Structure 1
């Protein structure tokens, strides 16, 4: 059986920007081994696989699905950029509007709307939480990154944040510190596997509500993720928990510039709703 694998980039309106993802709109005939094989062959940080929804999943007829994500190395509980890519790919075929996905992390609603000549998708995360990181684990992370502790931003304290996947958030004191990313791949991967981390979210505050971010992703088999929606959602929870943003606010995350694939992620916080909304454009590659 031939499986059609679509290629989209998320969080950019330019195919040369953002984060590429594979999208398989009908994975009903694929087992886990074949999905992993396809993701490895494609080589993107994640590929999204859609099948029919589980019984009882709320959503409009024909607009609810099961959604799974595979990196070249393993299945991932949640991937924001592949969700945005899959949502836009679906909307190009069935029309803009609401979608709902059953993911390994939980139910994720998405709204797709027209923006300019393209489409924009906004996902709503599962309920997030933020936790402390043990001093020994922080020291190991800094050693793997070759970051002196003095290079951290004291106003962005290290935490582990979750909004569908776990991410270690580290604040860079300067933009130059963020730009100089050269780390011990195997050492960081070992720590991340032990702590069940999906990426490390490296953040520099560039202004009010504006952040530059990078995401090492060795557990996925790639050095760096170009635009990370799951980490953006987790960072939204982090920013709210630490009082870095008002309860009702919109944050802008710039990612991928240091990789030559610039993208923009919008993070929305709403008062009274603990969930985080992450949005951006997506376009087909090729």
Structure 2
């Protein structure tokens, strides 16, 4: 097994979100994948298996699985971007079709003219669901965030674009900056509700957001760049009609933990369309 290490959503290896990438995991069993991800210690490691399915896209298809240090997740945005860039550097830019546990995801790569490869994934169809009052109370208690500190214009809701993420909006940037939560309590709640990360956001402008993502189910206190959550945020904003459509969102994440990341999200006007998540990746 050849294990690559990339940083996604940054052109600087000291920023972004690290991901492990195995471009050919043919014959590798699930226990080995899980043990490898735990040893690597990044928030996710992606294991891809090339598929000979006669795809007309030019570069074919990959079956892909994602593992955190604590177990498998159905979809991971930053590891998808890292995998696509690593694949493009080996085989050339173009299009890929990914078979994920969340459903089919298309990815395209291109050279940006500055020596970097830019990847864009299109998520599965997004959706949202209410958060019950008792779950919201437990979530805020674990975060130690008073309800009065939330932005009333962005109501709490669970959002999905491959994995579920509660979207919790802070009223101020200082509230977002102050993150010191009860990890066991939040992990227990998230495990019972099958939430991947908690997407904590602050809206700087109609299309610019700052985000922090608590990730205790993965054994990680905070994720520095969460492409799946950024896609889910875009779907949330579209479904609740909280952004003019079509929209181009910018999500800044990782700044509070010293790993700055930039995620671009294209939000089409059509409600059933997937969200386009764009970013770069560089090897570590």
In the other structure, the counterpart of 1:217 is 215
In 1, Cα distance between the equivalents of 2:6 and 2:40? 12
2:135 to 134, 137, 143: 137
Query: Per-residue CA shift, 1:66-114, capped at 9, x if unaligned?
Result: 0110000000000000000000000001101111100000000001011
Structure 1 pair 97/186, CA: closer, same or farther in 2 (3 Å)? same
Structure 1 pair 183/59, CA: closer, same or farther in 2 (3 Å)? farther
Confirm or deny: 8 A CA contact 1:54 1:102 kept in the other structure.
no
TM-score by length of 1: 0.96
Query: Per-residue CA shift, 1:192-225, capped at 9, x if unaligned?
Result: 0111100000000012310000000000011011
In 2, Cα distance between the equivalents of 1:274 and 1:138? 28
In the other structure, the counterpart of 2:277 is 278
Structure 1 residue 157 corresponds to structure 2 residue 155 = yes
Count of paired positions: 282
Instruction: Give the secondary structure class of the aligned counterpart of 1:279.
Output: strand
Query: Per-residue CA shift, 1:217-246, capped at 9, x if unaligned?
Result: 000011011100000010000011122212
Confirm or deny: 8 A CA contact 1:53 1:101 kept in the other structure.
no
* Gap regions ≥5 residues in structure 2: none
Confirm or deny: 8 A CA contact 1:64 1:100 kept in the other structure.
yes
Confirm or deny: 8 A CA contact 2:59 2:95 kept in the other structure.
no
In 1, Cα distance between the equivalents of 2:250 and 2:125? 20
2:254 to 241, 253, 256: 256
Confirm or deny: 8 A CA contact 2:58 2:94 kept in the other structure.
no
TM-score by length of 2: 0.97
In the other structure, the counterpart of 1:65 is 62
1:4 to 2, 21, 25: 2
**What does 1:155-234 correspond to in 2, within 5 Å?**
155-234=153-232
In 1, Cα distance between the equivalents of 2:198 and 2:59? 36
* Alpha-carbon offset, residue 60 of structure 1: 2.9
* Alpha-carbon offset, residue 269 of structure 1: 1.0
Instruction: Give the secondary structure class of the aligned counterpart of 1:137.
Output: helix
Confirm or deny: 8 A CA contact 1:170 1:202 kept in the other structure.
yes
In the other structure, the counterpart of 2:243 is 245
1:87 to 76, 84, 87: 84
Structure 1 residue 111 corresponds to structure 2 residue 136 = no
In 1, Cα distance between the equivalents of 2:60 and 2:14? 29
Confirm or deny: 8 A CA contact 1:217 1:223 kept in the other structure.
yes
Q: Calculate the aligned-residue CA RMSD, in Å.
A: 1.2
Instruction: Give the secondary structure class of the aligned counterpart of 1:205.
Output: strand
Structure 1 pair 146/86, CA: closer, same or farther in 2 (3 Å)? same
